[in-house]
A and B are shown apart, each in its own frame.
Chain A
């Protein structure tokens, strides 16, 4: 994603045309998807694929995180770390409007995806989630066949290809997720028959099958053993060639191993005694773990927290 065509009126739709694989042609063309037209914020400097601008997230009256401004770069892995309750998962779920599923949640400020605010009136969160996929903490494959786990997301998003095209999509996707060799002979088996690590890779495959360009991962390895964790981390590093990845993790070593840039969140008591999370700093990972800018970050990464 570059700014080679800044004069284009609908720059915010340029990402739709960027193709990851040839199978893009099998999905509805941009004109077939009703979508929201937003003007691009031209002033943002080198805007990344996703950007939050003074974002607050509330659950009812309770402010969970305050004033988060982050700029996630394209084809990078960004990590969100911080103590429990600092709102890093809340921030992650706000990035593709998964928080909308919680009835009391609402968001102030902006989240810009290729420059367009995904919280602008008229934006359908369903469309956002197709482009910004999600992998959850606990592997949650559908209780269907491995094949259907991959195919379903494509089908519901209007996949137009033939049966053979669908087979290709499933194979390509599973290869991308480094799972093909392990499951190619048992595509009809239930997704639940796989091991935990395989299930999580199946979930990653499922997420990339809808041709997103951002993948959000909410502590994807916290339920896995070290070997399975390592495989997921290797996979993430492969995947960043094509996708932008944002990962929430409790494991600082993991953040240090895989991410290019790390955001540290902390929690503070406000005047009413509520615990509200805030962003402390968002710096390149090697810098954050060696020479943190903030005292709070240093305390946390050295274990002197609290």
Chain B
């Protein structure tokens, strides 16, 4: 305020008008190049994702060369129709049952009937006497509960038991669409050159047919040893059970820990140490969590995880509960860190406003902070579930069953999961399994999409209500 500072002439240090024009062009060019590089990065990412998706879809559909034990036309003819006029799928339920009766052994027929009856009012393979006896036993089969098979179910049964297609060669979607005759020629050549490989089959028996490896039947059928009938309903249910257990464990524990760390913990050495460790745990390989799960949940907590103290009769701790808890611990760091970030993003002015009104810390957090943090917390949960549902390594360690055909029914069931199923199918030599693995991958992606959309809808509804 006392004396004015002398302002020196600095203009010599700035570029002249001409120099400035050149510099500006250079700067503009550099900005354009940078923008191009950034766009390139995006393109690389998008191309990688599309390639992945196309590879999976390419293997999920396509032509197959198959040999039928009995041709569908023969079945139609045996039912007394002209195969040229009536399609196999148009046969009535009664006609299909007749076909089945003449084509399968009495033992197989009885087993099928015990799974589900053919008619509500009469028995086909069983005698009434034996049926009553079986249904009166301590563990009556599913068929005793009532309900009968419909025409589409019988069509599948006849396909599986009578037609019994055996796939001898497969083509990808691209091969099938672009050059189907090349595939047919290749099969023909292969038959001519290596007849031994095909056993008793001759090329005349080969039928070409479209097959959607990824189909509703595939999604709803249980696992099977034959690729023609194998499905993934067991694995989907297993994955869903795992997700439920994982969420039930990781969300309350993770969000609780995040609230404590953000709102209540004082910044001291112990809490800093815990925070650093949580951040590091997010990067620990999942197989380590599998080892932890095996040692703790499967072995040490066996009485709990096998359900034996609750009266369940699981043989060991390799259950849905163990695996779900393992995945829960695995996703915990992700849930904690993202919930912490969401809570931290809530403006401090709201906390001050709440506390300034005489609210306790918890009242403020509960009513003012958490509702605003919730969409962010849900984003973290989505990420965690996406990670959990795709995990394979820890599940192998905690003992996901390789091959089970019974769906998990509760936390103490044995289970398998989609990634496990995919992993096992890719390890098998026949090419049919490769297509099934691709179809199962597609199912995994769809499942993930459904779960995530659910969470996103929930999140959007909640954040709209907040405004």
Binding site for B on A (CB under 8 A): 96, 98, 101, 103, 126-131, 133-134, 136, 138, 140-143, 152-153, 156-157, 190, 192, 203, 206-207, 209-210, 304, 306
Which of B114-122, B142-150, B359-367 participates in binding chain A?
B359-367
**Cβ contacts B364-387/A at 8 Å (1 or 0 each):** 000110001000000000000000
Write 23 A-B pairs (CB below 8 A) sorted by A numbering.
A103-B267, A129-B355, A129-B357, A131-B358, A134-B352, A138-B349, A140-B347, A140-B352, A142-B353, A143-B350, A143-B467, A153-B357, A153-B358, A153-B359, A156-B357, A156-B358, A156-B360, A156-B363, A157-B357, A190-B467, A203-B353, A206-B353, A306-B1
**How far apart are A284's CB and chain B's nearest CB, in angstroms?**
29
How far is A157 from B353 in the complex, measured between Cα atoms in Å?
14
Verify B350–A126 contact, CB threshold 8 A. Answer: no
Verify B358–A210 contact, CB threshold 8 A. Answer: yes
Task: Among B1, B266, B367, B466, point to the contact of A156 (Cβ < 8 A).
Answer: B367
Q: Does B161 interact with chain A (Cβ within 8 Å)? A: no
Task: Among A96, A136, A152, A206, point to the contact of B349 (Cβ < 8 A).
Answer: A136
Q: Does B356 interact with chain A (Cβ within 8 Å)? A: yes
Verify A130–B467 contact, CB threshold 8 A. Answer: no
How far is A126 from B357 in the complex, measured between Cα atoms in Å?
8
Verify A210–B357 contact, CB threshold 8 A. Answer: yes
**How far apart are B358's CB and chain A's nearest CB, in angstroms?**
3
Verify A130–B357 contact, CB threshold 8 A. Answer: yes
Query: Known contacts A190-B467, A207-B357: does B266 contact A103 (CB below 8 Å)?
Result: yes
Verify A140–B350 contact, CB threshold 8 A. Answer: yes
**How far apart are A268's CB and chain B's nearest CB, in angstroms?**
19
Using CB atoms, name the residue of chain A closest to B364: A156
Interface size of B by CB at 8 A reads: 22
Binding site for A on B (CB under 8 A): 1, 266-267, 347, 349-360, 363, 367-368, 372, 466-467
Contacts of A304 in B (CB 8 A): 1
Verify A152–B358 contact, CB threshold 8 A. Answer: no
Verify B350–A136 contact, CB threshold 8 A. Answer: no
Contacts of A190 in B (CB 8 A): 467
Contacts of B363 in A (CB 8 A): 156
How far is A131 from B357 in the complex, measured between Cα atoms in Å?
9
Query: Known contacts A152-B357, A156-B367: does B352 contact A143 (CB below 8 Å)?
Result: no
Verify A136–B352 contact, CB threshold 8 A. Answer: yes
Contacts of A127 in B (CB 8 A): 358
Using CB atoms, name the residue of chain B closest to A128: B358
Contacts of B360 in A (CB 8 A): 126, 156
Contacts of B467 in A (CB 8 A): 143, 190, 192
Question: Looking at B1, B347, B353, which has the most chain A CB atoms within 10 Å of its CB?
Answer: B353
Contacts of A206 in B (CB 8 A): 353, 357
Verify A129–B350 contact, CB threshold 8 A. Answer: no
Contacts of B367 in A (CB 8 A): 152, 156
Contacts of B1 in A (CB 8 A): 304, 306
Contacts of B267 in A (CB 8 A): 103
Task: Among B266, B355, B358, point to the contact of A157 (Cβ < 8 A).
Answer: B358
How far is A128 from B359 in the complex, measured between Cα atoms in Å?
10
Verify A143–B357 contact, CB threshold 8 A. Answer: no
Task: Among A98, A141, A142, point to the contact of B355 (Cβ < 8 A).
Answer: A98
Using CB atoms, name the residue of chain B closest to A304: B1
Contacts of B349 in A (CB 8 A): 136, 138, 140
Question: Looking at B349, B354, B355, which has the most chain A CB atoms within 10 Å of its CB?
Answer: B355
Contacts of A306 in B (CB 8 A): 1
Task: Among A136, A156, A210, point to the contact of B353 (Cβ < 8 A).
Answer: A136
**How far apart are B284's CB and chain A's nearest CB, in angstroms?**
31
Contacts of B372 in A (CB 8 A): 143
**Which 9 pairs show the lowest CB-CB distances between chains A and B?**
A130-B358, A153-B357, A134-B356, A140-B349, A129-B358, A156-B359, A140-B353, A156-B363, A126-B360
How far is A304 from B466 in the complex, measured between Cα atoms in Å?
49
**How far apart are B309's CB and chain A's nearest CB, in angstroms?**
42
Query: Known contacts A143-B466, A306-B1: does B357 contact A101 (CB below 8 Å)?
Result: no
Contacts of A96 in B (CB 8 A): 356
Verify A101–B355 contact, CB threshold 8 A. Answer: yes
How far is A203 from B356 in the complex, measured between Cα atoms in Å?
11
How far is A175 from B347 in the complex, measured between Cα atoms in Å?
29
How far is A142 from B356 in the complex, measured between Cα atoms in Å?
12
Using CB atoms, name the residue of chain A closest to B1: A306
Query: Known contacts A103-B266, A143-B372, A143-B466: does B352 contact A98 (CB below 8 Å)?
Result: yes
How far is A122 from B403 in the complex, measured between Cα atoms in Å?
64
How far is A96 from B353 in the complex, measured between Cα atoms in Å?
13
Contacts of B359 in A (CB 8 A): 126, 153, 156-157
Question: Looking at A127, A210, A306, which has the most chain B CB atoms within 10 Å of its CB?
Answer: A210
Contacts of A103 in B (CB 8 A): 266-267
Contacts of B266 in A (CB 8 A): 103
Contacts of A134 in B (CB 8 A): 352, 356
Beyond A156-B357, A156-B360, 11 additional contacts (C-beta under 8 Å) are A128-B358, A133-B357, A136-B356, A140-B347, A143-B350, A143-B467, A152-B367, A156-B358, A156-B359, A190-B467, A207-B356
**How far apart are A146's CB and chain B's nearest CB, in angstroms?**
14
**How far apart are B371's CB and chain A's nearest CB, in angstroms?**
8
Question: Looking at B1, B356, B357, which has the most chain A CB atoms within 10 Å of its CB?
Answer: B356
Verify A129–B368 contact, CB threshold 8 A. Answer: no
Task: Among B347, B351, B356, B466, point to the contact of A129 (Cβ < 8 A).
Answer: B356
How far is A134 from B360 in the complex, measured between Cα atoms in Å?
15
Using CB atoms, name the residue of chain A closest to B367: A152
Contacts of A98 in B (CB 8 A): 352, 355-356
How far is A101 from B466 in the complex, measured between Cα atoms in Å?
26
Using CB atoms, name the residue of chain B closest to A153: B357
Contacts of B358 in A (CB 8 A): 126-131, 153, 156-157, 210
Contacts of A142 in B (CB 8 A): 350, 353-354, 368
Contacts of B355 in A (CB 8 A): 98, 101, 126, 129
Query: Known contacts A153-B358, A156-B367: does B351 contact A101 (CB below 8 Å)?
Result: yes
How far is A143 from B355 in the complex, measured between Cα atoms in Å?
16
Contacts of A133 in B (CB 8 A): 356-357
How far is A206 from B358 in the complex, measured between Cα atoms in Å?
11
**How far apart are B10's CB and chain A's nearest CB, in angstroms?**
27
How far is A157 from B355 in the complex, measured between Cα atoms in Å?
11
How far is A128 from B467 in the complex, measured between Cα atoms in Å?
31
Question: Looking at B350, B354, B357, B372, which has the most chain A CB atoms within 10 Å of its CB?
Answer: B357
How far is A101 from B356 in the complex, measured between Cα atoms in Å?
10
**How far apart are A182's CB and chain B's nearest CB, in angstroms?**
20
Question: Looking at A101, A131, A192, A306, which has the most chain B CB atoms within 10 Å of its CB?
Answer: A101
Contacts of B353 in A (CB 8 A): 136, 140-142, 203, 206
**How far apart are A142's CB and chain B's nearest CB, in angstroms?**
6
Task: Among B347, B350, B352, B368, point to the contact of A101 (Cβ < 8 A).
Answer: B352
